[in-house]
Amino acid sequence: MSISAPVVAEPSPVPVAGSYRRMASQFFANRLAVSGLVILAALLLFCFLGPLIHHTDQTHTNLAGANLSPGQGGHLLGTDDVGHDELGRLMIGGQTSLEIGIAAGLLATLIGTIWGAVSGYAGGWLDAIMMRIVDAGIAIPALFLLLVTATILRPTVPVQIVIIGCVSWLVPARLVRAEALSLRSRDYVQAMKAMGGGHRRAVFRHIIPNAIGTVVVNATFQVADAILLIAYVSFLGLGVAPPKTDWGGMLSKGISYTYDGYWWMIFPAGIAIVLVVCAFNSIGDGLRDSFEVRLQGR
Amino acid sequence: MTDTPTLAIEDLTVSFTSGRESVRAVDGVSLQVVPGEVVAVVGESGSGKSVTSMSALGLLPPTATTTGTVRVGGVDVTTLDGPHLRAIRGAEVAMVFQEPMTALNPAFTVGWQVAEALRLHIEDLSKKQALDRAAELLEMVGIRDARDRLGQYPHELSGGLRQRVVIAMAIACEPKVLIADEATTALDVTVQAEILDLLRDLRARFGMAMLVITHNMGVVADIADRVVVMYQGKVVEQATVEDLFARPQADYTKKLLASVPRLARGEGRNRTAPADEEVALSLEHLVVEFRGKGGRKNRAVDDVSLTIAKGEVLGLVGESGSGKSTVGRAAIGLLKPTSGSVRLLGEALTGAKGRDLRKLRRRCGIVFQDPASSLDPRMTVGDCVAEPLVINGVGDRAERVAALLESVELDAALRRRHPHELSGGQRQRVGIARALALDPQLVIADEPTSALDVSVQAAVLKVFLELQQRLGFACLFITHDLAVVGMVSDRVAVMNEGRLVEVGSRDEVLFDSREEYTRRLVTSAPVPDPADQRRRREERHRI
């Protein structure tokens, strides 16, 4: 057989207009996801830039001006039971909630991703042990762990981030492990091993980057969960110490005045929590859809 | 042939719309099939051959817009709506798909599924009658003990039997047109030969019109009366099978036929003894077992001993499940053998660990079958080729990557693209470049061209063989395609059910084998020449 067979030119596919651009256009076509993004951006601006415009004293109490209803004494959303301006309180409380929520969500995702990728890639007995640890962790209610640790340690922001991060990495670990199980047998991982590559390279260069869709989508849900979790803890009175506060803590305080009709202490914080959780969830949904589009090109 | 055509496609155009883009998959195709005739539609991937056949059953997705007519027994299918289409499907036109496992429902018995096909179209057929008829059908497609088979599930049958069941379902209502879309592509050659015999037999008995969609010119030569050649959605040539192979008219057909590898004595490389005394790879009494369900051991490779000399290409052929890929993976330590030993370039690979193992591995390269899955979709082409260099700390990577891409005849500008932006052939070249990055002394090529179209396969094999001659690496070339083996190998080894059937020089094994299995394998592979294929078919029936 002659090997110089004439060859039909193989049409080379047109270079796709960057897959990231395709992904972005899919994301921005999703109205719910875009509104989530807008709400989140608005809340971030409100919490972090708001205090620059709306100056309030959030450290000293002013019992003379306590429990003012909205509009009284120039307080747009009234004041709370120790005289802090409710609007300003909403801003600094939101800072705490968002900081803890985002940092803890990312921490949980980081731990969970590495744990899951290593476990799924290793397989065998190591996988069995690592996953039993996850199972055991999931069996213990996260809220219970949080409450116990909050009574032992003084609940500052960094402490809360670490605690919440450490109780909520279990779900991402399971998700990433499932991906890693199928990714580790892919030919490119085999090829890399055949080139003499080690395990670390397999996990960090091949498995995690290819599981990134799952990781990113889950991270947004993790942040939403962490914000809710921190709200629970504060609501139960074990949040950051005054004069700092967060939305959960404000809600808790407001609830004690339900029968006095002080609605301005309840609704703003409650609505803020609902908004931010919904925003993160709809961003996550939008990201998931756009990652699917990105994968269609393969 | 003056009969009125059973299937007549007139000026069919199908375009797919997604977003703002519109792609014309089929462009002005006309073809006819008369009763008792087998028309083959050939073309490479993306030529629109499958879309053409789907339109005959109205199976196109809603994103497709169709113009032209598709007449089945005088009725224009393109104008029919749901209920009328369903009445046509199965009763007038039936289809046999490529993958029998996915065409059958794993949750139901074979008998139930065949009976279901009958009861959909024949009213007031009792369950009992339907099952009786199902048994008859299974017998008709050559399944022995058909009664007992009725109660079995698809996974309990072999691939060939499953495809027979699919064919039985397709002919259940005695359709006028049978469309076989790559119906033998997923099957081993010996099974493929049986299925083609069955189709030929059914045509003779029922006088059905058959439309056979395939990319395999051997299958065309074996079964077709007339051939329609498609390229990029258009029909480039229609001719009788004898005319097409003897006197191709269109340029594309000529090129296509020239790309098809052929098995011929005395051509190719053909060296008798290992060319060199020095051994690149030696396997001694290799056994690989996998643990199956319930702790049962599944012996994939059973006592295989082989040697490959430096600079030699050993072709390893066998059907699916013969253990040939397992041998390849064990040869570079991706799998641990249960017993026996592997020696790479004079050093023991079995038992080597950690750094020693990696040191040995860097002197080997591996090329996988599916270039789409062997390149990391998240890495650029440049990073993929550079990866072995990075792992082994080789410097001057940018220059080396450019040189490697050039050696497989790829534009160095492609290095910034991602694998999914490349065509199949380009991707496989990237795979070869990566395997050669460290100047290996042994390359394991596991079905490197099986996922490619013939014309692309020819180009990739040419590049591969030129590199082999220039760089002089030894190669274990694993494939199921005998023509490809004939083209690349110095020596050939044949495996069946985990055992080595024989090893010998190319001509000895492929043309003068004393082993019955090898002879059956060789005669089952259809050759792209109608007269020659008829002769081989008769020879095969004698064995």
Distance from CA of A201 to the nearest CA of B (A): 9
- CB within 8 Å: A192 and B387: yes
pTM of the model: 0.78
B482: three-class secondary structure by DSSP: helix
Q: Which helix (H) or strand (E) holds B358?
A: helix B354-361
Average pLDDT for chain A: 82
What pLDDT, on the 0 to 100 scale, is given for residue A7? 41
- CB within 8 Å: B462 and A5: yes
What pLDDT, on the 0 to 100 scale, is given for residue A133? 94
What pLDDT, on the 0 to 100 scale, is given for residue A6? 40
What does the buried/exposed string (b/e) look like for A251-277 if buried means 16 or more CB atoms within 10 Å of the residue's CB?
Answer: bbbbeebeeeebebbbebbbebbeebb
B496: three-class secondary structure by DSSP: strand
Model confidence at A176: pLDDT above 90: yes
The residue in chain A having the minimum alpha-carbon distance to the alpha carbon of residue B372 is A298
Q: How far is it, in rounded angstroms, from Cα B468 to Cα B384?
A: 21
Contact A180, A116 (CB under 8 A): yes
- CB within 8 Å: A187 and B370: yes
Which residues, other chains included, contact B501 with Cβ-Cβ below 8 Å and sequence gap of 6+? B494, B495, B515, B517, B518
Count of all residues that appear for chain A in the document: 298
Each residue's pLDDT tens digit, B311-361: 889 999 988 778 888 898 888 888 888 888 888 888 888 777 777 888 888
Model confidence at B272: pLDDT above 80: no
Model confidence at A49: pLDDT above 50: yes
Mean pLDDT in residue range A185-199: 83
Supply B184's token pair. Answer: 């033998």
Q: How far is it, in rounded angstroms, from Cα B392 to Cα B16?
A: 47
Question: In chain B, which residues have their Cβ closer than 8 Å to the Cβ of A8?
Answer: 44, 252, 255-256, 259, 455
What pLDDT, on the 0 to 100 scale, is given for residue B51? 85
* A34 band by pLDDT with thresholds 50, 70 and 90: very high
Each residue's pLDDT tens digit, B442-464: 999 988 888 788 888 888 888 88
Nearest to B482 by CA among B269, B327, B301, B264: B264
Question: In chain A, which residues have their Cβ closer than 8 Å to the Cβ of B365?
Answer: 194-195
Average pLDDT for chain B: 84
Mean pLDDT in residue range B426-430: 88
Mean pLDDT in residue range B402-427: 85
Q: What's the gap between Cα B22 and its chain centre? A: 30
| B373, B383, B408, B454: best to mutate for the A interface, most A CBs within 10 A | B373
| B290, B391, B404: best to mutate for the A interface, most A CBs within 10 A | B391
What pLDDT, on the 0 to 100 scale, is given for residue A9? 45
Mean pLDDT in residue range A97-114: 92
Contact B232, B515 (CB under 8 A): no
Phi, psi of B286 (to 5 degrees): -70, 130
What pLDDT, on the 0 to 100 scale, is given for residue A295? 52
Count of all residues that appear for chain B in the document: 543
Contact A226, A100 (CB under 8 A): yes
Which residues, other chains included, contact A291 with Cβ-Cβ below 8 Å and sequence gap of 6+? A23, A213, A216, A217
Contact B248, B259 (CB under 8 A): no
How far, CA to CA in Å, does A260 sit from each of A61, A84, A255, A267?
Answer: 21, 18, 10, 14
B287: three-class secondary structure by DSSP: strand
Mean pLDDT in residue range A83-108: 88
Model confidence at A4: pLDDT above 80: no
* B276 band by pLDDT with thresholds 50, 70 and 90: low
* A110 band by pLDDT with thresholds 50, 70 and 90: very high
Burial of residue A226 (number of CB atoms within 10 Å: 0-12, 13-18, 19+): buried
Question: In chain A, which residues have their Cβ closer than 8 Å to the Cβ of B372?
Answer: 298
| B16, B421, B449: best to mutate for the A interface, most A CBs within 10 A | B421
pLDDT: which is higher, A44 or A81: A44
Q: What percent of chain B has pLDDT over 90?
A: 6
What pLDDT, on the 0 to 100 scale, is given for residue A107? 94
Contact B467, B477 (CB under 8 A): no
What pLDDT, on the 0 to 100 scale, is given for residue A3? 40
Question: In chain A, which residues have their Cβ closer than 8 Å to the Cβ of B400?
Answer: none
What pLDDT, on the 0 to 100 scale, is given for residue A93? 87
- The string of DSSP letters for A202-231 reads IIIIIIHHHTHHHHHHHHHHHHHHHHHHHH
What pLDDT, on the 0 to 100 scale, is given for residue B493? 93
Mean pLDDT in residue range A209-232: 86
Residue that the structure tokens 């069941």 belong to:
B165
* B294 band by pLDDT with thresholds 50, 70 and 90: low
Which residues, other chains included, contact B71 with Cβ-Cβ below 8 Å and sequence gap of 6+? B5, B7, B8, B9, B10, B77
Q: Does B364 touch chain A (CB under 8 A)?
A: yes
Q: Does A188 touch chain B (CB under 8 A)?
A: yes
pLDDT: which is higher, A5 or B391: B391
- CB within 8 Å: A297 and B420: yes
* A114 band by pLDDT with thresholds 50, 70 and 90: very high
Contact B177, B468 (CB under 8 A): no
What pLDDT, on the 0 to 100 scale, is given for residue A5? 39
Each residue's pLDDT tens digit, B172-217: 888 888 888 888 877 788 888 888 888 888 888 888 889 998 888 8
- State the amino acid at position B415 in one-letter form: R
Q: How far is it, in rounded angstroms, from Cα A56 to Cα A14?
A: 58
* A294 band by pLDDT with thresholds 50, 70 and 90: low
Mean pLDDT in residue range A15-20: 56
Neighbours of A1 (CB within 10 A): 17
Burial of residue B36 (number of CB atoms within 10 Å: 0-12, 13-18, 19+): middle
pLDDT: which is higher, A295 or A282: A282
Each residue's pLDDT tens digit, B229-258: 988 888 888 888 888 888 888 888 888 888
Model confidence at B534: pLDDT above 80: yes
Q: How far is it, in rounded angstroms, from Cα A36 to Cα A281?
A: 8
Q: Residue B267: which of A1, A5, A13 has the nearest Cβ?
A: A1
Q: How far is it, in rounded angstroms, from Cα B47 to Cα B213?
A: 11
Q: How far is it, in rounded angstroms, from Cα A267 to Cα A252?
A: 11
Which range scores top for mean pLDDT: A24-28, A271-275, B355-359, B409-413? A271-275
Q: How far is it, in rounded angstroms, from Cα B87 to Cα B91?
A: 7
What pLDDT, on the 0 to 100 scale, is given for residue A18? 58
Q: How far is it, in rounded angstroms, from Cα A267 to Cα A58?
A: 19
- The string of DSSP letters for B7-38 reads EEEEEEEEEEEETTEEEEEEEEEEEEE-TT-E
Q: How far is it, in rounded angstroms, from Cα B6 to Cα B49?
A: 19
Quickly count helices (H) and strands (E) in chain A.
14, 0
Residue that the structure tokens 């002769």 belong to:
B535
The vertex-B304 CA angle with B303 and B309, nearest 5°, equals: 150
Model confidence at A80: pLDDT above 50: yes
The residue in chain B having the minimum alpha-carbon distance to the alpha carbon of residue A209 is B378
Model confidence at A15: pLDDT above 70: no
Contact B198, B183 (CB under 8 A): no
Q: Residue A194: which of B334, B462, B466 has the nearest Cβ?
A: B334
Each residue's pLDDT tens digit, A132-152: 999 998 888 888 888 888 788
Predicted complex ipTM exceeds 0.95: no
Q: Which helix (H) or strand (E) holds B281?
A: strand B279-291
Mean pLDDT in residue range A74-103: 84
Q: Which of A164-168, A293-297, B168-172, B298-302 has the lowest mean pLDDT?
A: A293-297
Phi, psi of B16 (to 5 degrees): -110, 135
Q: Does B450 touch chain A (CB under 8 A)?
A: no
What pLDDT, on the 0 to 100 scale, is given for residue B409? 86
Nearest to B66 by CA among B75, B78, B56: B78
What pLDDT, on the 0 to 100 scale, is given for residue B197? 87
Q: Does A195 touch chain B (CB under 8 A)?
A: yes
Peptide bond into B530 cis (omega under 30): no
- The string of DSSP letters for B395-458 reads S-HHHHHHHHHHHTT--GGGGGS-GGGS-HHHHHHHHHHHHTTT--SEEEEESTTTTS-HHHHH
pLDDT: which is higher, B459 or B294: B459
How far, CA to CA in Å, does B93 sit from each of B138, B266, B291, B492?
Answer: 19, 46, 44, 44
Q: How far is it, in rounded angstroms, from Cα B435 to Cα B430?
A: 9
Each residue's pLDDT tens digit, B34-67: 888 899 998 887 788 888 888 887 778 777 888 8
